Amino acid sequence: MSAAVLEMNASASQAERLADFARVTTDDVDEAAEQIGRIFCPHDLRPAQTRTIGFSARHNCAAFDGFSINYVAYGGSVSIDPGCLERFFLVQIPLAGAANIRAGISEFDAAPDRTASLLSPTIPTRMMWRDCAQAILLLDRRMVEQRAAALSGRVAGAVEFDPVIDLDAPSGQALRTSLAELMRLAERLGPSGRLSPVAVADWRELLLDHLLNGQRHDQSDAIRTFSGRAERLPRALRAARDHLSDNAGEPLDLAQLACAAGIGIRALQLGFRRHFGVSISQMLLDMRLAGLHARLAQAAPDASITDIAFDLGFTHLGRMAGAYREKFGETPSATLRRRMS
């Protein structure tokens, strides 16, 4: 289990996550339903017992362009009936307690380290949370549906996922690790911090990949079929590589990259691994490291490595420094000192 996941789970037993991003803190059921409903969607919220002693609600939210990472916790047992979510997809990773989920014809229990849930906007949902806290990823519906259309070669339309996420499966582990890292990143930045457009775009691409290529949904087969048909390589890959290099400092847009190559997104992803031996994100990382090296080699004496790195899309400075050292044989600060000497 990754350090980020261990930290996310360990912190859940001590205090809520994203505490600096508090949006709702109340012991009143009606207030909780009204305020949280404004952030997510209108829903019916009822304590399992007729008395509301012991009820509490907490919602913390760090929002980005197209997605948000949330911490939601209810004290006591509560039923939540949002019906159809309409505007967004929800990934819910339990941190404490348990939840019973009914999504369409599926019913299952979600619990820490075992099972999470993925709620689709067109599938009616009802839930029972029991002293439950969850890390929740909200993804804009249109963004997911447009990407699914690009991957499958179809007209954009509803996408419906299998609501059960097995946290022991590799895809479930990868998704949970990414959400833990996103939550930790938001906490490190704080409400007044900024995430560059490049970094936000990278996160969007990663999250869309986790869902549409990692989780089962009703367009999975169409995506696999279209990927196999669309592969015209290697000329298309060289065009994609050149486009990636020319725009390495810009936010990654896989749909735009695929358009430049003249092939489908999934074919592009598979082609990079087969013909270059690396993923698109790995090649982009290498290009951005080269860009960072060039910037540092010409930087002013008072330049901030952190500011330059954030502008280039790096959000995890320790990981960036390790990759930089592996590529260039020295730390970023050593490159900057050499420039200053």
Domain spans in the chain, listed from the N-terminal domain onward? 3-189, 284-340
Sorted by sequence, the CB contacts under 8 Å of residue 5 that are 6+ apart come out as: 176, 177, 180
CA atoms within 13 A on the CB side of 215: 31
Residue 294 CB coordination number (10 Å): 11
CATH T-level assignment (fold) for domain 3-189: Jelly Rolls (2.60.120)
Q: Which residues contact 59 (CB under 8 A, 6 or more apart)?
A: 22, 23, 24, 35, 36, 39, 70, 71, 72
The residue type found at 300 is: A
**What local confidence, expressed as pLDDT, does residue 270 receive?**
86
Q: What is the pLDDT of residue 278?
A: 82
Predicted local confidence at residue 14, as pLDDT: 47
Identify the CATH number of the domain defined by range 284-340: 1.10.10.60
Instruction: Indicate the SS3 state at residue 219.
Output: coil
Q: Among positive and negative, which fits the CA dihedral 162, 165, 166, 172?
A: positive
pLDDT along the chain (341 residues), means of 10: 56 71 92 88 82 82 94 93 94 96 96 97 95 96 88 83 97 96 95 86 91 94 70 74 87 90 87 82 87 83 85 84 84 76 53
DSSP string for 39-103: HS---EEEESSSS-TT-EEEEEEEEETTEEEEEEEEEEEEEEEEE---SEEEEEEEEEEEEEEEE
